[in-house]
Amino acid sequence: LANTAFVRALARRSPATVVVLMYHDLRTDDDFPNWLRVPVSVFDRQLSWLGQVGRFITPQQLEEPEDLDSGVLHFLLTFDDGYENNLELARPLLAKHRAPALFFVSTGPMQSQEPFWSDVVVTIVQGAGLAELDLRPWGFELFRFKAGDVARRWDDIERLLTALKAQGNEDDAAVAGVLDHLRRRHA
């Protein structure tokens, strides 16, 4: 959506165009980078820009699409997983920009007060600034994470997460072993 010409071409379509933007997580600008965690200053600029090129809508407005203006871009904002920062960081900016949003809250992690296992992996790799992670004892490989190049580093982290998810979830013995190792060694 960064190209205004593209956005204007989208908006000219009839009937009204609805673009759903899905967020997960926000972070303060000084927190470590994470490809799912949008810095608050970036989110603030995104909301400002989106409000200039279109209109924010509520999920209820989707039930009566004939009431949406044709030739206008409509944005439905969603947040997945129910991170605490959605309340602390996103809500004030949503209010500032008069932007409604739909929140999907994963009740399991809320009840257990345990983070998603994938967040444990990312937080440890990024928080500890790991250059490599040898997971061969659990049937995986040696993972290396590029320093300095944020995009390429995230490709490396995504490769790690993909390998772990392909094996299973945290109830899988190999994944559980990796998580236990990470928590004991790097938490």
Q: How far apart are CA 178 and CA 174, in angstroms?
A: 6
Residue 4, pLDDT score: 59
Question: Phi, psi (5° rounding) for residue 154?
Answer: -65, -30
Residue 161 is predicted with a pLDDT of: 94
Per-residue pLDDT of the chain (187 residues; tens, 9 = 90+): 445 566 666 656 556 788 999 998 899 999 877 777 899 999 999 999 999 989 999 999 988 888 888 888 899 999 998 888 999 999 999 999 999 999 999 888 878 888 889 989 998 998 888 999 999 999 999 999 988 777 788 889 999 999 999 999 889 999 999 999 999 998 7
pTM value > 0.85: no
Instruction: Give the length of the chain.
Output: 187
Q: How far apart are alpha carbons 156 and 62 in whole angstroms?
A: 38
What distance, in Å, lies between the first and last C-alpha atoms of the chain? 38
Nearest to 166 by CA among 133, 130, 141, 129: 141
Residue 75 is predicted with a pLDDT of 94
What's residue 12's pLDDT?
A: 63
Closest CA to 59 of 44, 74, 41: 74
Residue 116 is predicted with a pLDDT of: 87
The full DSSP string for 50-106 is HHHHEEE--GGGGG-GGGSPTTSEEEEEEE-S--HHIIIIIHHHHHHTT--EEE---
